[in-house]
A and B are shown apart, each in its own frame.
Chain A
Amino acid sequence: MIFENLAEKLQNTFSGLKNRGKLSEKDVELALKEVRLALLEADVNYKVVKTFTERVRTRAVGEEVLKSLTPAQQVIKIVYDELTALMGGAVSGLNLSHSPSNIMMVGLQGAGKTTTAGKLARNLKENGRRPLLVACDIYRPAAIKQLQVVGSQVGVEVFSVADQKPVSIAKAALKYANQNGYDVIIIDTAGRLHIDEDLMQELVDIKSALNPQEILFIADAMTGQDAVNVADSFNQRLDISGVILTKMDGDARGGAALSIREVVGKPIKYASFGEKLDSLEAFHPDRMTSRILGMGDLGTILEKAQKAIDEKDAQQMMDKLTTDDFNLEDFYNQMQQMKKMGPLNQLLEMVPGMNKQLKGQDLSGAEDEMKKIEAMINSMTNKERRQPDIIDASRKKRIAVGSGVKVQDVNKLLKQFSETKKMMRQFGGLATGKGKRKIRMPFFGK
């Protein structure tokens, strides 16, 4: 990408300039040129870019440059604040006050409605709800079958009726939900063009039949300039309640989110990060801002780490790591905690600056390696895990057979483990001593 990092770019633009009191018109103009390009490259609609940069200009010119900041940093701060404000402050959830609460999924073809419906059902179910998926896409070949498969994967019933119009199916589903104690109905509708009058009318009809609490517009994060027209049309006809941004696991900067937010004014409620059915997350405006600007995302990784690792556990682990008590069982737990945080490459991408270093590096190998190690530890007895020293040749052979690897792999694991242990002991010494030393992780280095 051309504008990999706006922060860096602005830094270069301002190189040579030191703090000098107030931001001049020229300073701001210079910075805004880069901001404008970055936003356009991120697919923010050009009209939105125009009004946005105008807003920043008005606010920035004449502003005092804070003592601790350079003019570039000051401009970035203003841009960041304004963007975050535009994206909407707090995280907004779903209105599920009714029983059943009705949720309609709408959008263009291929945005990811069916998959997202499955993910949403899974989320709700995990939160103690009883969701029912409703198949109203009677047009696309095998769409109903797709929802049925997704439904069975997440363990949620799928309601469908053959040879009926979507409006009748939706009505029948409501009745069915009432009779069977479902408290949320998720209606999957067919993808349609916003300019297709007949099909848009169909959505309006479903809406008036069901009175849904939520109408969620599903938007592909890769959408370009036209995102505003599409979202605006859907909103005009249906008065949508929110947006779900899909395919966020790609490298699109997702400027469409900003455009939609500015033009339609409805909150983005969820973002979806992969094809696995557990990859739907609440949307965080501040993180999206960083992504659109290409500035990394420290907030997400911090929170992910916090969620996955209970602090007490972490302290206990730390204590263990630095003593001789550290065994394969602990090692296994440590790996599980890391796994909870998500795929390795996604995790590392969120560290500012890491993005660039990671380009071209394939981390899937490291993940495969982790899987293998997991399998091997799973094949050990509790005693073996706690006292790896007792693992002799015949035990190695059994473990290898049990986990589908070669004996060499088991040897490698044991060797790496003892290296790690040694390293951790050194680290323990360092932690109390002084001096910084780079910690090498034997399991991920090649």
Chain B
Amino acid sequence: MGFFDRLFSGLTKTRDNLVKQIKSVLKGKKISEELFEELEEILIGADIGVKSTLEIVENVRERCKNEKIQDGEEVEKILKDELKKLLGENSALKPPETTPWVIMVVGVNGVGKTTTIGKLAAKFTKEGKKVMLAAGDTFRAAAAEQLGIWAERSKAQLIRHAEGSDPAAVAFDAVQAAKTRKSDVLIVDTAGRLHTKSNLMDELKKVRRVIDREMPGAPHDVLLVMDATTGQNGLSQAKVFKETTEVNGIVLTKLDGTSKGGIIVAIKKELDLPVKYIGVGEGIDDLQEFNPDEFIEALFGN
């Protein structure tokens, strides 16, 4: 299955839902206040949020006026165009010049951090890179075992400590090991935590600090994993994680369900945090680079 096919098939449900709605709203309709209201509902229904939705629709409305658009279906093009402008250009992760490339993975509980790391590891191994995983979730029962199974599947090395030990110590050991064993990529898992728990966020800061101390400039990337079912709270999550751990990209998981993951539009808009990867299933290959253009095309089903 090619890249586009996979993205496409993963997004089928998402796309079907949004497209069906948009088509049924716009088909054969003349522009009216009602039509814009229906557009608003669709975007809000996709979890894009009230504030962002109102602003996006306002822009569409303005443009329809300026460009003297009468036909409802033309509005789809403009809406798509506005969304594209918002999401910006594709910005895939790029490895730094020096190895190991250290990637730290953070997020609230249950979003799919460990699974995402497993998939990332498999992807890097496939590219011929030597991968090491650090089991930094020392809190949740059997989290290290779970990562261990993914390490086996993806032929990556694993650094782990006992349950309940200090995650910063795991990170320390992992950076040392990755340097001596000449790993190309080190991915550091962390325990899921709600962004409202300041002591746990401090712990995360410490992990980041220790990595930076052992390898200046690292972690090179900090990925926030977010569940596509997340509602408006996603914005608050992204804000706090960005502030505390300098998150520079999002992995949007569980896009193979019926959720639309629209919160990432609001996050890009408010915090300028781009999505780097999307998760479209539980298989080891179900991780794709996020491409804003294709994402929107797939959403609208062209």
Contacts and interface: CB of A to CB of B under 8 A. Distances in A.
A191 to B, nearest CB: 9
B41 A224 contact: no
A161 interface: no
A42 B232 contact: yes
B104 interface: no
Contacts of B45: 45-47, 225
Interface residues of A, number: 51
Contact of A224 (B109, B148, B231): B231
A251 interface: yes
A84 to B, nearest CB: 22
A230 B148 CA distance: 31
B282 A139 contact: yes
Contact of B232 (A43, A108, A362): A43
Contacts of B139: 275
B232 A230 contact: no
A249 interface: yes
Chain B, interface size: which category? Answer: 35 or more
B150 A141 contact: yes
A142 B51 CA distance: 41
Interface stretch (B64-72, B89-97, B207-215, B255-263): B255-263
Most chain A CB neighbours (cut-off 10 Å) among B143, B148, B233:
B233
Contacts, number: 147
Interface stretch (A91-99, A145-153, A306-314, A427-435): A145-153
Most chain B CB neighbours (cut-off 10 Å) among A108, A226, A249, A250:
A226
Nearest to B41: A46
B108 A250 contact: yes
B146 A251 contact: no
Nearest to A112: B110
B85 interface: no
Contacts of A390: none
A297 interface: no
B169 interface: no
B47 A226 contact: yes
Interface in A229-250: 229-230, 247, 249-250
Given A224-B47, A251-B233, A255-B231, 5 more contacts: A195-B257, A224-B259, A226-B259, A226-B260, A275-B140
9 contacts: A2-B51, A40-B44, A40-B49, A108-B257, A222-B227, A226-B259, A252-B236, A253-B232, A256-B231
